[in-house]
Amino acid sequence: MASPVGQVRIKGLKELGRAFQRMDKALAKEMADELKQAGEPVAERTSQYITSGGGGFPAMRGVAARPGHWENMRVGASRSLGKAWVAPAWNSNKGTLQGQILAVQIRFRMEGALEDESDAVQELVDKWLGQLGREWSRAA
């Protein structure tokens, strides 16, 4: 099944997250922390695309007027759903035309960053799952 635009799909991650929730709250928290860490490359690449351009995008106009504002991104994760997300750290004024245009421009850059960093995200999650498997095999 093809992934919707703007997502990296890792099969079985949602089910794994639910199993971790039932087993151990600390393990579910660890998974959420690792998912946040896996989302960091996307946040960093998005910030780069906003300020400097790249990935087929020019640098955004007006960003220099408020350095350290528009390009800031935040990363979060859901323990129960096994999902991570990346979003702007600021809240745009979507009621205005300028806010809507800004939101669209940033969304395009976020989707481009996700596409460019999807392999890195999958590698980070695979690495953590490998470490977890090795720890469990040693404990058994």
pLDDT tens-digit profile of 10-23? Answer: 677 777 777 766 76
Cβ(70)–Cβ(63) below 8 Å:
yes
Q: What is the pLDDT of residues 82-105, one digit of tens each?
A: 788 898 887 666 577 777 788 888
The phi, psi pair for 137, rounded to 5°, reads -70, -35
Question: What integer pLDDT is reported at residue 92 of this predicted model?
Answer: 60
Mean pLDDT of 120-137: 87
Going by C-alpha positions, the residue among 97, 122, 105, 93 that lies closest to residue 10 is 122
Mean pLDDT over all residues of the chain?
Answer: 80
Mean pLDDT of 1-6: 49
Amino acid code (one letter) for 127: K
Widest distance between CA atoms in the chain: 59
Tell me which of 113 and 97 has the higher pLDDT. 113
For residue 117, being part of any structural domain is answered with: yes
For residue 2, being part of any structural domain is answered with: no
Distance CA 85, CA 38 (A): 10
User: Torsion over CA of 19, 1, 56 and 94, rounded to 10 degrees?
Assistant: -70
For residue 33, being part of any structural domain is answered with: yes
Q: What is the pLDDT of residues 21-38, one digit of tens each?
A: 676 777 778 888 988 999
- Residue numbers of the domain that contains 37: 13-134
Going by C-alpha positions, the residue among 132, 112, 136 that lies closest to residue 13 is 132
Name every residue whose Cβ is closer than 8 Å to that of residue 41 and which is 6 or more positions away in sequence. 117, 120, 121, 124
Distance CA 47, CA 101 (A): 17
For residue 100, being part of any structural domain is answered with: yes
Domain count for the chain, please give it: 1
Q: State the pTM of this model.
A: 0.77
For residue 120, being part of any structural domain is answered with: yes
Question: What integer pLDDT is reported at residue 8 of this predicted model?
Answer: 63
